[in-house]
Structure 1
């Protein structure tokens, strides 16, 4: 267990973990929500716990930061908003943070499970 930005991060490492990740992290998202619910049920307190299996979230975070950088470059060169594909709340947060760090704005649009990020000109 580790702490990142005041958020507990539980990492599960080992071999044969793909079934715990699922397609595009869908099983991992469900496991994380079940873990949060179990903590809430036992303690009565909500948690911002982040569950990572086999380094999936760490790899995905790197991919998303690169995606955000490309979107920022596109917006700066065209002056037009750039819409990205549907993302989970975790993914959108990573993109919003990367866009803000680059000095641009972003917004989430759409309805779950199809919410997406739009990168906006400054």
Structure 2
């Protein structure tokens, strides 16, 4: 019995469906790695197929399947046209699964500055805890968190340059705890600036200041 398969198709969804048939499993029983999203080309010229690697989950990954089941039930209850799939079984940061939500309405779940996404992640993990699932599940929507992290790292570098040039502190807009952590980490080893958080709740902010302040 094969545990993993690499498949190509016209689209990512086509490739996934073929792989599920080949492995004789349902979508919540596997992890899906998108190797290439493919290209349609111009009038079919230069088109390339999408490629995915689909891996059957082992018993140690039961938390992933349970999380997928509950999350898809939540999405159905909310009448959201989106589907949850497992991106990574063991996230290097917290050793838990990373689940990605994709679909027509997926973007609606992000909310302002990712607040809806954070709330949904909190609710899902509370449900899992109440059902004796100990793994922490990280939610993402079409790579939003990765894109947001890159944007915050770029912002941190630009703000640090301004602080050093003007010798004045700059206070950033309110951010979630995970977003503040990105800023702190990005500038932790910066020779010319330091960072601090202040405020409370949704109004907690990061201030970037000269090292000698």
Q: TM-score, normalised by structure 1?
A: 0.84
Q: Of residues 80, 84, 98 in structure 1, which corresponds to 2:186?
A: 98
Q: Name the residue aligned to 1:22.
A: 111
User: Max radius of gyration: which structure?
Assistant: 2
Q: Find the residue that maps to 1:77 and give its secondary structure.
A: helix
Length, aligned pairs only: 121
Structure 1, unpaired ranges of 5+ = none
Q: TM-score, normalised by structure 2?
A: 0.51
Q: Name the residue aligned to 1:60.
A: 148
The answer (yes or no) to whether the contact 2:197–2:204 under 8 Å persists in 1 is yes
Residue 39 (structure 1) shift: 2.8
CA distance in 2, matches of 1:115, 1:7: 27
Q: Runs in 1 of length 4+ with deviation above 6 angstroms?
A: none
The Cα RMSD (Å) is 2.1
Higher normalized contact order (CA 8 Å, seq sep 6+, divided by chain length) = 1
Structure 2, unpaired ranges of 5+ = 1-87
Is 1:109 paired with 2:198?
yes
Equivalent positions of 1:7-86 (< 5 A) are 7-16=95-104, 17-43=106-132, 47=136, 49-86=137-174
